[in-house]
Homo-oligomer: A and B are copies of this chain.
């Protein structure tokens, strides 16, 4: 009898995952990534980002035949027309998407099959900051709360370890909690 272990777990190709780890270990020149977003104002609070090319794994990526287009705007109470989610909601989406895929990757690496990963994120702010009415309030969220539900074929302690490891390794969690230096330049007129 032959026991075959499929390299696909949780939809992740674990053979590719281990191959990537070995390749980056052997050649750190594969590690730098540059992601790019181009944004165009449409009208009012409404803008559109075009997301297509990036540099990574030692080459300009060519896997995306067409660009993604993603809009952002505001609801009427914030002077928009609900053309799309607002930027603060997109930040929560970025955080959710990153934590979720990191949980799934870590579980796949640890040979744990997951059956559910769902989450609710809330961010609270006081608009007196962004409106410039009171400097005692920051512009952004004072706090983000993230609640995950994770189910899978492993004891709760193991699932909690996976969540903890994902929290320690998530790209966007790091950025949102620790901040990133931003260099902003404008060509005006």
Contact = CB atoms under 8 A, between A and B. Distances in A.
Interface of A: 10-13, 16-17, 20-21, 24-25, 28, 30-41, 43-47, 49, 51, 54, 56-57, 61, 63-64, 68, 70, 72-80, 82, 84-105, 114, 116-133, 137-151, 155-156, 159-160, 163, 167, 169-189
B89 A91 contact: no
Contact of A41 (B45, B100, B183): B100
Number of copies: 2
Contact of A188 (B21, B76, B160): B160
Contact of A127 (B24, B119, B130, B188): B24
Interface of chain A: mostly helix, strand, loop or mixed: mixed
Given A94-B90, A127-B33, A172-B91, A177 B188 contact: no
A5 to B, nearest CB: 18
B128 A28 contact: yes
A71 to B, nearest CB: 8
A177 B175 CA distance: 9
23 contacts: A20-B79, A37-B92, A38-B121, A44-B104, A45-B101, A63-B75, A63-B77, A64-B82, A72-B98, A91-B94, A91-B176, A130-B171, A131-B169, A139-B170, A139-B171, A139-B174, A140-B180, A145-B182, A150-B187, A150-B188, A159-B189, A167-B184, A179-B179
